């Protein structure tokens, strides 16, 4: 007899390739080989089970639920994951960047006047980080006292107050007290509320419905309970309810009644909130013990007390609290200089990270006295909106660079949770593209962009903004640029301006697809924006060269719940440029050629001799040596 559909009792336990069991309908079947030529032999009834394990079976990709549409043999799934379009990796490289200090403003002011982002790689990357930083800083978190006050937040509507009061009129805490002492509405008020057609009072319908329902249940319970010694009903507010329960129900139901109605029993006086001492058989006979304080600490002899501790507190000079303002300056508040929004906000954001202490830090003199300081700010754009960020505040101001062009790598000792100046690359790549991106962008370019890959004028500290790129890909006429559209470094080839601007549109589609297959991902992105024809050509390479990701959207239901739904699958190319295995020096003039014409390089030519440092001491020693030598010769 078969144990399940298509299975036999003998075949379930048989693993012999040379099984000679006779073929019987209810016990066993014949041994066959896999039709996919994987080399496996098994009983015929196990063919469907073998299809789940056969390496030559055609199956979809493991990332089929993430958007990969390809099917392949099962033994090729692992190899396919290396180039799978749905196997997407997010670059998590991090670095730090600090605000510009007051001692180095000349250079950054000159850079802000001429922001050549394509030439200045470090400045372009700093602008990208600065934009992300300004969007992430919310003015409400730093200056809550300078926000626009919403009138509706400060004044509660009568409807909300009434509903909040009515909601707690039947709720009690664990000690039997009501959270808010509210009187029960009279019958006239209930009738007026029931007949009132005001829309505002409709919100209280559910609350009053609960009150009426409890009254109705109490009436029904009173009618259904027989009279006992003149007292009826099992409601918590009826006299003698606990005595009647002890006689009518068992101990389990009695305890369950106390659990559900204990607060109401305490409130109506049916049950004591605390066990009286005379009835407590555990702690009732205990007597309080006097607590004695024993001081066993001896002050060491090497301890030196502060001067304020040595004085008698009773004889301490009288102090008064007084606020320091600008009344003694003789000018109004509007005439005072305004604080800069960017520098002040960045300083307040980094007061713990950079300075190590708060600007308005409280210092304690001893255990009794504390000095409290308060810092206030006056901005021209204040008050700010509730959801305003730093980027919104300075949107109408001219662009500028307020963070350092030099980036610092994130170390293990860095506290990432308290710093708003840590940045992450955040670009997405296919798994086979990530290695090339990290090596070329982060290791070769970004790690050495300040001083090695890109060289600045030695007089940059005086304000010179000259910079030149020293390297280019070996064997390629190309240069490294920073593309603001994708916020990434790209490889731009150098071409002759006299060439035909559109030599590809007239070629057949097959040749265009063959040419496009040699382009990198970033070039395919730019090519797809040229025309509809080129967009169709690039679309044919999406499954082979592109990556797919799921776009989610939040869906809110009528009952108030929400969930995330996958809206669609998005196909795109990454921002990876062609891998560079070797870099070469560019044929650029030396930095000394720039110094010949640099406006910040000022020579100080002198025609008269100038005494060198410590020259007087050398001459004294020399003269002393001559005197001693002359004295020795005279003695001889």
* Residue 315: DSSP 8-state: G
Answer whether 0.75 is exceeded by the pTM.
no
Q: Is the pLDDT of residue 168 over 60?
A: no
Q: Which two tokens stand for residue 72?
A: 């392949």
Burial of 381 (0-12, 13-18, 19+ CB in 10 A): middle
Q: Is the pLDDT of residue 288 over 70?
A: yes
Q: What pLDDT is recorded for position 182?
A: 44
For 40, 340, 347, 381, 559, the CA distances from 390, given in Å and listed in that order, are 67, 12, 13, 11, 37
For 19, 39, 309, 317, 483, the CA distances from 368, given in Å and listed in that order, are 94, 87, 10, 14, 60
Q: What pLDDT is recorded for position 180?
A: 40
Q: What pLDDT is recorded for position 75?
A: 92
Question: pLDDT for 253-265, tens place per residue?
Answer: 888 888 888 778 8
| CA atoms of 38 and 31, how far apart (whole Å) | 15
Cis bond before residue 383 (omega within 30° of 0): yes
The architecture (CATH level 2) of 1-56 comes to 2-Layer Sandwich (3.30)
Q: Is the pLDDT of residue 579 over 80?
A: yes
Q: Is 70 helix (H, G, I), strand (E, B) or coil?
A: coil
Question: pLDDT for 584-594, tens place per residue?
Answer: 888 888 888 88
For 555, 617, 620, 625, 627, the CA distances from 633, given in Å and listed in that order, are 108, 25, 20, 12, 10
- Other beta carbons less than 10 A from residue 7's beta carbon: 15
Domain ranges of the chain: 1-56, 57-86, 90-148+336-429
Q: What pLDDT is recorded for position 117?
A: 64
Average pLDDT, the chain: 77
Max CA separation in the chain (angstroms): 145
Q: What pLDDT is recorded for position 177?
A: 41
Question: pLDDT for 17-63, tens place per residue?
Answer: 888 888 887 788 888 888 888 888 888 888 888 889 999 999 999 99
Q: Is the pLDDT of residue 291 over 80?
A: no
The candidate with the shortest Cα–Cα distance to 114, out of 453, 408, 400, 531, is: 400
Q: What pLDDT is recorded for position 402?
A: 87
Specify which of 288-292, 474-478, 580-584 reaches the highest per-range mean pLDDT: 580-584
For 144, 186, 191, 236, 261, the CA distances from 170, given in Å and listed in that order, are 38, 15, 19, 13, 12
Q: pLDDT band for position 201 (50/70/90)?
A: low
Q: Is 369 helix (H, G, I), strand (E, B) or coil?
A: coil
Q: What pLDDT is recorded for position 159?
A: 40
Q: pLDDT band for position 141 (50/70/90)?
A: confident
| Percentage of the chain modeled with pLDDT above 70 | 70
Least confident of 101-110, 126-135, 342-351, 367-376: 367-376
Specify which of 106-115, 215-224, 311-320, 438-447 reaches the highest per-range mean pLDDT: 438-447
Q: What pLDDT is recorded for position 84?
A: 92
Q: What pLDDT is recorded for position 485?
A: 83
Q: pLDDT band for position 169 (50/70/90)?
A: very low
Q: What pLDDT is recorded for position 157?
A: 43
Q: pLDDT band for position 76 (50/70/90)?
A: very high
Q: What is the mean pLDDT of residues 291-300?
A: 69
Q: What pLDDT is recorded for position 174?
A: 36
Q: Is 543 helix (H, G, I), strand (E, B) or coil?
A: helix
Q: Is the pLDDT of residue 134 over 50?
A: yes
Bigger pLDDT: 368 vs 209: 209
| CA atoms of 167 and 161, how far apart (whole Å) | 10
Q: Is the pLDDT of residue 175 over 50?
A: no
Q: What pLDDT is recorded for position 604?
A: 79
Q: Is the pLDDT of residue 227 over 60?
A: no
Q: What pLDDT is recorded for position 301?
A: 62
- Other beta carbons less than 10 A from residue 421's beta carbon: 22
Question: pLDDT for 421-459, tens place per residue?
Answer: 888 888 999 999 999 999 999 999 888 888 888 888 888
Q: What pLDDT is recorded for position 353?
A: 57
For 85, 519, 618, 626, 635, the CA distances from 621, given in Å and listed in that order, are 80, 75, 5, 9, 21
Q: Do 440 and 581 form a contact (C-beta atoms < 8 A)?
A: no
Q: What pLDDT is recorded for position 360?
A: 59
Residue 89's H or E segment, with its range, is strand 88-90
Per the document, the length of the chain is: 636
Q: Is the pLDDT of residue 617 over 60?
A: yes
| CA atoms of 332 and 114, how far apart (whole Å) | 37
Least confident of 95-109, 157-171, 240-254, 513-527: 157-171
Q: Is the pLDDT of residue 498 over 70?
A: no
Bigger pLDDT: 233 vs 512: 512
| CA atoms of 93 and 438, how far apart (whole Å) | 8
Q: What pLDDT is recorded for position 239?
A: 78
Burial of 544 (0-12, 13-18, 19+ CB in 10 A): exposed
For 7, 63, 64, 67, 506, the CA distances from 549, given in Å and listed in that order, are 42, 11, 11, 7, 34
Q: Is the pLDDT of residue 385 over 70?
A: yes
């Amino acid at each position: 007899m078969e144990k399940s559909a298509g299975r036999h009792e003998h075949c379930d336990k048989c693993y012999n390739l040379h099984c000679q069991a006779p073929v019987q309908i209810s016990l066993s079947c014949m041994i066959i080989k896999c039709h996919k030529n994987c080399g496996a032999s098994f009983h015929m009834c196990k063919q469907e089970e073998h299809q789940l394990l056969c390496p030559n079976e055609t199956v979809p990709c493991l990332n089929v639920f993430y958007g990969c549409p390809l099917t392949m043999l099962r033994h090729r799934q692992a190899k396919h994951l290396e180039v799978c379009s749905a196997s997407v990796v997010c670059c998590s490289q991090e670095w730090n960047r600090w605000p510009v200090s007051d001692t180095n403003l000349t250079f950054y002011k000159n850079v802000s006047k001429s922001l050549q982002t394509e030439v200045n790689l470090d400045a372009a990357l700093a602008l990208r980080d600065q934009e992300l930083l300004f969007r992430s800083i919310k003015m409400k978190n730093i200056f809550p006292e300078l926000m626009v006050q919403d009138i509706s937040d400060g004044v509660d509507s009568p409807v909300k107050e009434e509903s909040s009061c009515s909601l707690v009129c039947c709720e009690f805490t664990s000690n039997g007290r009501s959270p808010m002492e509210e009187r029960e509405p009279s019958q006239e008020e209930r009738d007026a509320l029931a007949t009132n057609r005001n829309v505002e009072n409709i919100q209280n319908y559910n609350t009053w419905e609960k009150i009426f329902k409890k009254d109705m249940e109490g009436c029904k319970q009173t009618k259904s309970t027989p009279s006992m010694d003149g007292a009826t009903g099992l409601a918590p507010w009826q006299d003698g309810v606990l005595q009647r329960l002890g006689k009518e129900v068992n101990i389990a139901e009695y305890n369950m009644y106390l659990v559900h109605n204990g607060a109401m029993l305490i409130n109506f006086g049916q049950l004591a909130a605390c066990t009286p001492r005379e009835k407590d058989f555990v702690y009732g006979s205990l007597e309080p013990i006097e607590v004695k304080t024993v001081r066993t600490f001896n002050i060491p002899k090497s301890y030196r007390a502060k001067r304020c501790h040595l004085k008698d507190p009773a004889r301490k000079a009288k102090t008064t609290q007084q606020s320091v303002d600008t009344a003694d300056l003789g000018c109004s508040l509007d005439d005072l200089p305004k604080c800069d929004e960017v520098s002040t906000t960045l300083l307040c954001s980094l007061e713990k990270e950079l300075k190590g202490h708060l600007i308005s830090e409280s210092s304690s003199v001893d255990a009794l006295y504390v000095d409290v300081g308060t810092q206030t700010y006056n901005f021209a754009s204040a008050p700010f909106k509730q959801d305003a960020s730093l980027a919104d505040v300075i949107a109408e101001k001219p662009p500028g660079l307020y963070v350092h062009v030099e980036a610092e790598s994130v170390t293990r000792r860095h506290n990432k949770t308290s710093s708003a100046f840590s940045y992450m690359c955040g670009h997405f790549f296919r798994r086979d593209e990530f290695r090339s991106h990290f090596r070329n962008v982060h290791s070769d370019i970004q790690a050495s962009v300040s001083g090695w890959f890109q060289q600045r004028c030695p007089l940059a500290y005086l304000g010179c903004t000259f910079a030149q790129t020293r390297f280019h890909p070996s064997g390629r006429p190309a240069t490294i640029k920073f593309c603001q559209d994708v916020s990434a470094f790209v490889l731009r080839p150098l071409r002759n301006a006299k060439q035909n601007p559109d030599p590809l549109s007239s070629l057949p589609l097959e040749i265009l697809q063959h040419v496009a297959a040699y382009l990198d991902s970033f070039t395919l992105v730019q090519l797809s924006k040229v025309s509809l024809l080129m967009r169709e050509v690039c679309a044919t390479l999406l499954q082979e060269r592109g990556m797919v990701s799921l776009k989610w959207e939040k869906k809110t239901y009528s009952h108030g719940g929400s969930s995330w739904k996958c809206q669609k699958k998005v196909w795109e190319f990454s921002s990876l440029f062609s891998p560079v295995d070797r870099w070469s020096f560019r044929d650029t003039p030396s930095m000394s050629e720039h110094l010949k014409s640099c406006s910040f390089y000022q020579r100080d030519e002198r025609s008269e001799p100038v005494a060198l440092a410590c020259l007087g001491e050398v001459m004294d020693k020399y003269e002393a040596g001559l005197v001693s030598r002359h004295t020795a010769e005279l003695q001889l």
